[in-house]
């Protein structure tokens, strides 16, 4: 059974695109591609109201408690988020999230019936040192089954320096080879890092790339719509 592509919009700490109701088509799933949006907290109710499949950019594993400024997966799930990003490199970098924290979040999300997208990827220094596979192996060890993965090389995020389709495919094939045999075919592995309307198709054409996690281009409805359309063309071809 082929994997349906998933295109995810990570709006990060930015307001939702203006007049969202007028460009909603770009952000709504269709029969050929799943589409999920990850808005900043305050825009979540609007996205849910507009019928978008909506996820949390982060959620803490504890349900409630004295964690000023944090938000829990439990609360995000209560308000209607069905997906969550775990371990985005910006969370690892600015909030010092560890692999152990990320495993805990992914497990909790699954327990709540949410779908975690666990982000993994090496930094520029790690790639230059030839350590990308070591890093990925470490980031993937002990992750629960039933998750979606996003390979996001840190050097490609927000830099305009996309991994080439061949580089990305190499890493995706490696990542898939590390999955337990019974999860290998069914697990979606997204690529993230400067995906846009122009490069999406060549990335999505790779056999082990099952979708995209999109930052900058996801804030531009037309551009994001092009990425979704590229995914739709992929499935139509199957
Ligand atoms: P970018 O961000 O598309 O702006 O590179 C991707 C991400 O951080 O998920």
Report the candidate in 235, 124, 133, 141 with the shortest Cα–Cα distance to residue 188. 235
**Residues with a CB atom less than 6 Å from ligand 1:** 10, 152, 157-158, 192-195, 213-217
Whether pTM exceeds 0.95 = yes
Nearest in space to 3 (alpha carbons), one of 234, 180, 198 = 234
The CA 188 to ligand 1 mean position distance, Å, reads 18
- Contact assessment for residue 26 and residue 8, using Cβ atoms and an 8 Å cutoff: no
Nearest CA to 54 out of 65, 67, 43, 62 is that of: 43
Among 121, 196, 216, which residue has the most ligand 1 atoms within 8 Å of its CB, making it the best to mutate? 216
In whole angstroms, what is the distance from residue 124 CA to residue 176 CA? 22
> Is 223 one of the annotated active-site residues of the chain?
no
Q: What is the total residue count of the chain?
A: 238
Q: Closest ligand 1 atom, CA of 196?
A: 3
Position in ligand 1 atom list of the atom nearest CA 10: 9
Report the separation in Å between the CA atom of 65 and the middle of ligand 1, taken as the mean of its atom positions.
31
Please give the distance, rounded to the nearest whole angstrom, from the Cα atom of residue 127 to the centre of ligand 1: 18
User: Distance between CA atoms of 90 and 95, rounded to whole angstroms?
Assistant: 8
Q: Could you give the C-alpha distances from 26 to 17, 55, 117, in angstroms and in order? A: 11, 16, 21
Candidates 88, 107, 126, 223; catalytic one: 88
Atom of ligand 1 nearest to the CA of 193: 5
User: What CA–CA distance (Å, rounded) separates 75 from 86?
Assistant: 16
Mutate to test the pocket of ligand 1, among 157, 160, 189, 195 (most ligand atoms within 8 A of CB): 157
What pLDDT was estimated at residue 2? 76
Q: Distance from the CA of 2 to the center of ligand 1, in angstroms?
A: 26
pLDDT string in tens for the chain (238-residue length): 579 999 999 999 999 999 999 999 999 999 999 999 999 999 999 999 999 999 999 999 999 999 999 999 999 999 999 999 999 999 999 999 999 999 999 999 999 999 999 999 999 999 999 999 999 999 999 999 999 999 999 999 999 999 999 999 999 999 999 999 999 999 999 999 999 999 999 999 999 999 999 999 999 999 999 999 999 998 877 6
Which residue in 139, 92, 148 sits closest to 120, CA to CA?
Answer: 139
Contact predicate 45/71, CB 8 Å = no
CA distances from 55 to 25, 127, 234, 236 (A): 18, 30, 24, 26
Tokens at 54, concatenated: 């909506």
């Amino acid at each position: 059974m082929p994997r349906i592509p998933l295109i995810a919009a990570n709006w990060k700490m930015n307001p939702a695109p203006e007049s969202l109701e007028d460009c909603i088509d770009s952000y709504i799933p269709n029969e050929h591609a799943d589409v999920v949006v990850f808005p900043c907290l305050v825009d979540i109710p609007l996205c849910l109201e507009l019928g978008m499949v909506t996820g949390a950019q982060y959620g803490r594993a504890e349900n409630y408690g004295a964690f000023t400024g944090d938000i829990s997966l439990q609360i995000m799930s209560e308000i209607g988020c069905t997906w969550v990003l775990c371990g985005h490199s910006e969370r690892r970098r600015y909030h010092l999230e560890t692999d152990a924290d990320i495993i805990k979040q992914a497990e909790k999300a699954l327990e709540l019936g949410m779908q975690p997208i666990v982000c993994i990827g090496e930094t520029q220094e790690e790639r230059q040192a030839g350590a990308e596979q070591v890093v990925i192996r470490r980031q993937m060890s002990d992750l629960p089954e039933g998750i979606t993965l996003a390979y996001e090389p840190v050097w490609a995020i927000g830099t305009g320096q996309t991994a080439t389709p061949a580089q990305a495919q190499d890493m995706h094939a490696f990542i898939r080879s590390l999955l337990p045999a019974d999860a290998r075919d069914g697990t979606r592995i997204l690529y993230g890092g400067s995906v846009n309307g122009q490069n999406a198709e060549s990335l999505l054409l790779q056999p082990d790339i099952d979708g995209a996690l999109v930052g900058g281009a996801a804030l531009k409805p037309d551009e994001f719509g092009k990425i979704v359309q590229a995914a739709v063309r992929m499935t139509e071809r199957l």
